[in-house]
A and B are shown apart, each in its own frame.
Chain A
């Protein structure tokens, strides 16, 4: 098993596929979209290192699917502003050609307000919560890695993340 973590993950996936489809149907509000997503989980699994070791295999499958959903959402957030409004507000030319791209559409203004609101809301948090949030969200450290870096327990990391998210959610209209 230690030599073939991928094979046992795939076996688990096949056995619990209906559970995954049911879960992602709730999340995506569409059985067809859920089928697609669960199929994508399989594609990702088959690309894994055969010797991969996973602590909580079932949780891993759910998390993998949820991350795929987040990836799609990320793509949609960009595509929705394909005409440039959102993207341009993020595009800067570096080097001597300094150009600040000004988005024109109202959507861009709303988007910027939302970003400003989020940025402001982050500043309300305690320094320690900010630090934990930044390390996990922006520097890509896992919860255990953040815990080790800051010198707190994993459940404390979870609590900081929870406090930050709740606050951000409350600040949005």
Chain B
């Protein structure tokens, strides 16, 4: 085989891999397409390798922020139809979404306009408070179609006004799937930050002094609650913002949304997390409080996925993966370093 033959063979395989990837990402793909794709993969190990390379490239692109500026158009809030998440509610017909796209420039401009500070509640707007106890989660659908999944031991207050939709988040964690309404921004007060949304899905966590925001779809803006005109920090798909109350800035990094959203599937995902934080999460998840015996135990680092089906099993798994012993006292459960 000559050199030319090799490179044209490689190019042909790349073309075929690209064909399959694009084809199978489209909603039009059928079961037969997948079977044909399987035959293609099986016909040569080089095909499998090329497809692996393509997938690695697909993921790595997410780490290249510069690529997001492609084409020079503003980013828009987008509905994502990944098969592994529940489809958005059916009331956003294609025409509406198209208009939403065409009006995106205007929507973004509007979202940069002055926001009224959190805590200024319009008179006459009814507020509703939603609260969960430890061990309880709650699905809430607001009148505007926004869906909120409230994690355990959480409390939020909602007021849907004519000019803005407002949520005040106390000690709480929730996934928000916000209905698109460019004329009525969705504003969330969380500690000393304000989160501003046009229409998107994200997990927002406010525990102690820490605010943590992970976006799965669309763009969310965060600014100091007492400085509504401050330039916002924009958090987009696959990014996570963390902010400690009282600090001036925030930290923005690439993050896997599935980690933040895991609680909605009955899982908690940790990477190098202090055991004291794990215990605090589990205390919210179950009725019986769980704490670490001392600072040494609390400082143990835990990495792994905990399926939070029931407390005895979770504790058994925790004790298997971390060097701890579980003690049941009358009112609480205590973890000891062993």
Contact = CB atoms under 8 A, between A and B. Distances in A.
Interface of A: 19, 22-23, 26-27, 29, 43-44, 47-49, 52-53, 55-60, 62-64, 66-71, 73-75, 77-79, 82, 86-87, 90-97, 111, 114-116, 118-119, 122-123, 127, 130-131, 133-145, 148-149, 154-155, 157-159, 161-163, 165-166, 168-170, 172
A46 to B, nearest CB: 10
Contact of B249 (A96, A155, A166): A96
Contacts of A19: 35
B78 A169 contact: no
B78 A139 contact: yes
How many chain B residues sit at the interface, stated as a range, is 35 or more
Given A73-B55, A119-B67, A138-B237, A165 B84 contact: no
B63 A27 contact: no
B148 interface: no
A150 to B, nearest CB: 9
Contact of B86 (A22, A52, A149, A161): A52
Chain B, interface SS category: helix
Interface of B: 11, 14-15, 17-19, 21-31, 33-35, 38, 41-42, 48, 50-51, 53-68, 70-71, 73, 75-76, 78-84, 86-87, 94, 97-98, 101-102, 217-218, 233, 237, 241, 248-254, 256, 258, 265, 271
Contact of A62 (B15, B34, B68, B71): B34
A64 B102 CA distance: 30
B239 to A, nearest CB: 9
A93 B58 CA distance: 26
Contact of A154 (B15, B24, B26, B67): B26
A165 B70 contact: no
Given A56-B31, A142-B80, A169-B18, A93 B50 contact: no
B275 to A, nearest CB: 19
A62 B76 CA distance: 29
A62 B24 CA distance: 9
Nearest to B41: A26
A148 B79 CA distance: 13
Shortest Cβ-Cβ A-B pairs, 5 listed: A95-B249, A58-B31, A140-B80, A161-B22, A165-B18
